[in-house]
Amino acid sequence: MFRLGLVLALSCWTSVASAQQWAEKMFSERSFDFGTVARAGKVEHEFIITNLYKDDVHISSVRSSCGCTQPRISKDTLKSHEKGAIVAAFNTRAFSGQRGATVTVTIDRPRYAEITLNVKGYIRTDIVLDPSQVNFGSVAEGEGTSKKIRIEYAGRNDWKITGTNVNSPYLTADVKEISRSAGRASYELSVDLKQGAPVGYLQDQLFLTTNDRRGTQFPVNVEGLIVSELTVSPRTIMLGTLQPGQSVTKQIVVKGLKPFKVLEVRCDNEAFTFQPVDEAKTVHLVPMTFKAGEPGKINQKIEIVTDLGESKTAELSAIGEVNLPLAGN
């Protein structure tokens, strides 16, 4: 009886360990050191998780052992080979000094597992960022912009920011001292976003170097959204399943940052017809009609040409299937 109980216990422990290893393999890293950071600065790190398996993975919850770190889930359900992230945000406003936390991630599907992630860092009280980060907001594709933030220091009389360290090819930074008295110093950081930054969400960091031996540099978070001059919705039109001779009409929405005309809709399948309006405006509703012909699958590329220039075209796809009616129908 004792031997049977031992075998069952070992079997259960092996199953739990297997589930843990299965889940741990999905994380590219499980610990991160923020290093030395400024008070009130926005400081985050993404722990990337990739579903390596066939079944969907569901992250049910995430919690932290310390209020100095606030975790969140970027996407709770990951399909096969899909990526997500557990974002750990360091609370630099309410905490200071050396801090660390264990973040526990709970997965409940397809099997139960708990994975621990570890973060740590040193939050300085003598350096304060105002505002907490460089945020460009929304920026039109092809345009540049700039933002400034203030950096306040209280401590040594001889403390200085000596330079900037920028890794992104789309960012430049300059810092200058604007005041100094009785152990206090104020600096202004100017960050420029160059023209040509790719469309999408910008999230980066730059580092300010100092003459301080306790921490020779500290990070400044940089964010923004590069908005395409021309967008189309939906990117994929679902035609459904049709029978020969049937027609279906869908609507394409094309948006621009300034008024434009739709000059042409290119499609090499005559079963598709379009009705654009010859008028300059920021939003175009383009009706599209498809008339089903020969049976088979449909996967058609469509290109919308505008007067914003040949490079400013919108592309989308239409997919569906044409089937013969069932016998007797």
| H/E element, 93 | none
**Helix, strand, or coil here: 271?**
coil
| pLDDT surpasses 80 at 12 | no
pLDDT at residue 11 is higher than 90: no
Kindly state the tokens that stand for 123. Answer: 């939050």
Both tokens of 185, joined, read 């110093």
Identify the pLDDT of residue 18: 57
Q: List strand residue ranges (DSSP E) for 133-269, in order.
A: 134-140, 145-154, 161-166, 171-181, 184-193, 200-210, 217-227, 230-233, 236-242, 247-260, 262-266
- List domains and CATH numbers for the chain: 22-124 (2.60.40.10), 133-227 (2.60.40.10), 230-322 (2.60.40.10)
Give dist(CA 276, CA 82) in Å, integer: 37
Examine the pLDDT at 239 and tell me if it is beyond 90: yes
Hey, is 110 helix, strand or coil? Answer: coil
pLDDT digits (tens, 9 = 90+) for 112-152: 999 999 999 999 999 999 999 999 999 988 889 999 999 99
Is the pLDDT score of 215 beyond 80?
no
pLDDT of 233 over the 90 cut: yes
pLDDT recorded at residue 8: 43
| Helix spans in the chain (H) | 2-24
Q: How far apart are alpha carbons 191 and 149 in whole angstroms?
A: 9
Residue 308 has a pLDDT of: 87
Give 34-90 pLDDT, tens digit per residue. 999 999 999 999 999 999 999 999 999 999 999 999 999 999 999 999 999 999 999
Distance CA(152)–CA(80), nearest Å, equals: 47
Return the pLDDT at 327: 59
- pLDDT at 328 (0 to 100): 55
Could you give the CA distance from residue 254 to residue 1 in angstroms, rounded to a whole number?
73
pLDDT score, position 312: 78
Q: What is the pTM of this model?
A: 0.72
Q: Is 287 in contact with 237 (CB distance < 8 Å)? A: no
pLDDT of residue 310: 65
For residues 261 and 256, what is the distance between their CA atoms, to the nearest angstrom?
10
- pLDDT at position 279, please? 93
The rounded percent of the chain whose pLDDT value lies above 90 is 82
**Counting Cβ atoms within 10 Å, is residue 153 exposed (0-12), middle (13-18) or buried (19+)?**
buried
Q: Which of 313, 309, 300 is nearest to 254 (CA)?
A: 313
pLDDT of residue 273 exceeding 60, the answer is yes
Residues 6+ apart with CB under 8 A from 299: 317, 318, 319
Q: What average pLDDT score do residues 152-164 get? A: 94
- Averaged pLDDT, 20-32: 94
Backbone angles phi, psi at 198, to 5 degrees: -65, 150
- pLDDT band per the 50, 70, 90 thresholds, residue 253: very high
Whether 29 has a pLDDT exceeding 90, the answer reads yes
**Side chain identity at residue 87, one-letter code:** V
Q: What is the pLDDT of residue 13?
A: 40
Give the mean pLDDT of the chain.
90
Q: Two tokens at 103?
A: 């973040």
In this prediction, residue 108 carries a pLDDT of 95
